[in-house]
Chain A
Amino acid sequence: MVKVTLDNVSKFFGKVKAVVDLNLEVRDGEFVALLGPSGCGKTTTLLMIAGIYKPTKGRILFDEVDVTDLPPKDRNIGMVFQSYALYPHMTVYDNIAFPLKLKKVPKHEIDKKVKEVAKLLQIDNLLNRKPAQLSGGQQQRVALGRALVKEPDVLLLDEPLSNLDAKLRVMMRAEIKRLQKELKITTIYVTHDQVEAMSMADRIAVMRAGRLQQYAEPEVLYNKPINLFVAGFIGNPPMNFIEGSIKEENGEYYFESEGLKLKLSKDLGELVASKSTDVVLGIRPEHIRVITSGEVDNAIDATVYVIEPLGRDLVINVKVDNTLLKILSTPGLKLEPGQKVKLVFPEEKIHFFDKYTEKAII
């Protein structure tokens, strides 16, 4: 097991800057997710760690060893590809045995290890089949088996669950996490699915357009997003954003937007105003309280737009003037489209971002 360090790594394809000045440290035995929308450079990063791509600039270290110029075969990595990339002309057994055969491991030892891994992944009854005869989930396990059989120092997973159906995905999510904790392999997991990243990873590196946005534990990303992008990317339904400005009237601070005036505490108001007056207010759907009757202090008038019942949850879409907000609530609230409601934004749950730099103020 090793620690993986990316030191100022960049990768350019001609004029396209796939990854720019990436600094990342993955601790020994840690499970890190590279999260971002497609084209953000996460797979390129993974392929650089694998040694398939050579960084244009920067260094990659495994523990203290510089592996930047090492070919993939000398890095002792296991990798699962999005397409699984099973060798179609080999049986499941031969697929899993392939890395060991290349290492010239004795035959009986190969046999022992392949069967061990196959048993661990519950594919020991499929060893004589060809990949084409397997279901997606089975192929995925074989790919995982092939990556694990050589006991790699680093396990790289490139969207391994994206080709599975929703039910299987949730199952495999837990299984991969358990496996990783059991084997304690340093793991880097690429995904565009924030739920996968949040549920599996010890730390998440959020990337956008080749640049690292924030690298932190899931709770930190969720509660303290560093900028608008991270705030909007993490969480489902996503955080609500309202553009507006901070106004000071008679020593009191307000957040003002079209059809909305929210009084802020003095501390918060001063803090935000000292950084910027053109701001974006962010609040997560589960943090907005809906009041259907009675008078509440500092509430916002809204109209119910549409209701999405999800069984356990209820997503209420409301309009404040022309801004659509999503609110996550529990079922039981009887609401009709067109109904007037009042919203309460608990101040400790409000985020403010600078409108121009998009950076978090608080």
Chain B
Amino acid sequence: MSKLPIPTYRITPWLFLTPLFIMIALAWIGPLFLTVYLGFTDLQLKNFIAFIKDFFTPQVHFTLDNFRRIFLAQDPYIPEVARITMIYVGSVLAINAFFALVLSIAIAYFVKSELISMSLRVSWLLPRITPGIVYALMWNWFVSRDGMFNLLLRLAGIPESWLPSNWLLDKPYSQLLMIIVNGYIGASFGMIVYTAAIKSIPPDLINAALVDGASEFQVARRIIIPLLKWPIMFVTAWQTLSLMASYDVILMVWGAAQGASPSEVLGITKVAGVTVWSLYAYTQAFSQYQYGYAAAISLVLVAIGLGLIVFYFKVFGFRRLMEPSRVEV
């Protein structure tokens, strides 16, 4: 008797998954290997052609120079980038995970009118559904010299001399803007998760707390927030990882929306003090053309990210984190 053919029910799922696997391989695993590879080379614009010829041959010169530059402070700007990144991730995370929580409770619990609650939710979603470049341009207009923000401040009687010459370039305003601009977009993610979780709390639980003598505020603090433990952890973990790697909005507000070319971006963000780690990697690659160095900088981020993932999985439990975010009832 010949061998039994593999039943189709075994093959079909793989068949459907193949496009996904191809995408992951091309868009994620491939670049990851390439980044690791390049991180240990001195690829830059100068030696680009020569390097390409030797690509994946023993002639490629491997070096740890890139990492020496990063960790032995041979690049004087690295400590500043690290500091900005920590401020950025820390502050925007505070907005995305915790301010979003406060907002969600306000919108989904304290505001009893469904219509008002809905419109508030939509208003916080607007920045996310607006095309990024439009959002960036709007901020640029809003805070420009004769923009609406200055106009409002003048109307409020703030003397001209108190206004910074440029909100986007003068520290600490520029860094504050970096946090606000990103937080306004990022908060909506947490809010979607939180409001859904709040709405899924059985009304009986909240009614029981009210009958037990809780004020609305006590209901929020003693019932709603403890029940949102898992959504909060999930949003925190997710947002730390994605914030570390994100620079798109900063690049658009301080780059494209200003009409700056890629080569000018690093200069602008340095002045403004908004060069986050991933943006620094980007500018090293696309305005300084230090491809090897840029790859090494990204690798540090990947390593930290992996470390954090391991940490979160350890702390929260891998399986619980991978399950859909839920409310324990």
Q: Which residues of A contact B (CB under 8 A)?
A: 47, 50-52, 71-73, 77-79, 81-83, 85, 87-89, 98-99, 102-103, 146, 150, 156
- B119 contacts partner chain A, Cβ-Cβ < 8 Å: no
Contact of A77 among B205, B209, B211, B226 (CB under 8 A): B211
Q: Which of B204-232 contact A (CB under 8 A)?
A: 204-205, 207-215, 218, 222-223, 226-227, 229
Residues A50 and B329 in contact, CB atoms below 8 Å apart:
no
0/1 per residue, B59-86, Cβ < 8 Å to A? 0000000000000000000000000000
- B323 contacts partner chain A, Cβ-Cβ < 8 Å: no
Nearest chain-A residue to B214 (Cβ)? A102
A56 to B213, CA, bound (A): 23
Residues A72 and B210 in contact, CB atoms below 8 Å apart:
yes
In order of increasing CB-CB distance, the 7 nearest A-B pairs are: A85-B208, A85-B204, A99-B212, A102-B213, A73-B213, A72-B210, A89-B226
- B328 contacts partner chain A, Cβ-Cβ < 8 Å: yes
Contact of A103 among B211, B213, B223 (CB under 8 A): B213
Contact of B208 among A79, A89, A103, A150 (CB under 8 A): A79
Residues B215 and A88 in contact, CB atoms below 8 Å apart:
no
A82 to B205, CA, bound (A): 11
**Shortest distance between the CB of A205 and any CB in chain B (Å):** 21
A88 to B200, CA, bound (A): 14
- B324 contacts partner chain A, Cβ-Cβ < 8 Å: no
A51 to B208, CA, bound (A): 11
Contact of B229 among A51, A83, A89 (CB under 8 A): A89
**Most chain A beta-carbon neighbours within 10 Å: one of B212, B218, B229:** B212
Residues A81 and B213 in contact, CB atoms below 8 Å apart:
no
Pairs across A and B, CB under 8 Å, 6 listed = A50-B210, A73-B211, A73-B213, A87-B223, A88-B227, A98-B212
A98 to B218, CA, bound (A): 11
Residues B211 and A50 in contact, CB atoms below 8 Å apart:
yes
Chain B residue contacts of A81, Cβ below 8 A? 204, 207-208
A18 to B181, CA, bound (A): 47
Instruction: For the A-B complex with A85-B207, A89-B328, A102-B214 known, give 4 more contacts whose Cβ atoms are closer than 8 Å.
Output: A72-B213, A81-B208, A83-B204, A102-B212
- B202 contacts partner chain A, Cβ-Cβ < 8 Å: yes
Residues B208 and A73 in contact, CB atoms below 8 Å apart:
no
In the complex where A87-B223, A89-B227, A102-B213 touch, is A50 in contact with B207 (Cβ < 8 A)? yes
A87 to B202, CA, bound (A): 11
Chain B residue contacts of A88, Cβ below 8 A? 227, 328-329
Chain A residue contacts of B328, Cβ below 8 A? 88-89
**Shortest distance between the CB of B79 and any CB in chain A (Å):** 43
In the complex where A85-B205, A88-B329 touch, is A79 in contact with B211 (Cβ < 8 A)? yes
Chain A residue contacts of B218, Cβ below 8 A? 102
**Shortest distance between the CB of A60 and any CB in chain B (Å):** 15
Chain B residue contacts of A99, Cβ below 8 A? 212-213
Contact of B202 among A52, A85, A89, A98 (CB under 8 A): A85
A146 to B213, CA, bound (A): 11
**Shortest distance between the CB of A324 and any CB in chain B (Å):** 40
**Most chain B beta-carbon neighbours within 10 Å: one of A52, A146, A156:** A52
Chain A residue contacts of B215, Cβ below 8 A? 71, 73
Chain B residue contacts of A89, Cβ below 8 A? 226-227, 229, 328
**Shortest distance between the CB of A114 and any CB in chain B (Å):** 13
Residues A52 and B211 in contact, CB atoms below 8 Å apart:
yes
Contact of A73 among B202, B210, B229 (CB under 8 A): B210
Residues B212 and A146 in contact, CB atoms below 8 Å apart:
yes
Chain B residue contacts of A79, Cβ below 8 A? 207-208, 211
Nearest chain-A residue to B227 (Cβ)? A89
A99 to B328, CA, bound (A): 21
A82 to B215, CA, bound (A): 22
In the complex where A52-B210, A73-B213, A146-B212 touch, is A83 in contact with B227 (Cβ < 8 A)? no
A85 to B212, CA, bound (A): 11
Nearest chain-A residue to B201 (Cβ)? A88
**Shortest distance between the CB of B209 and any CB in chain A (Å):** 7
Nearest chain-B residue to A79 (Cβ)? B211
Nearest chain-A residue to B226 (Cβ)? A89
Chain A residue contacts of B214, Cβ below 8 A? 73, 102
A78 to B213, CA, bound (A): 9
Chain A residue contacts of B205, Cβ below 8 A? 85, 87
Chain B residue contacts of A102, Cβ below 8 A? 212-214, 218
Nearest chain-A residue to B208 (Cβ)? A85
Chain A residue contacts of B223, Cβ below 8 A? 87
A87 to B222, CA, bound (A): 10
**Shortest distance between the CB of B223 and any CB in chain A (Å):** 6
**Most chain A beta-carbon neighbours within 10 Å: one of B214, B215, B226:** B214
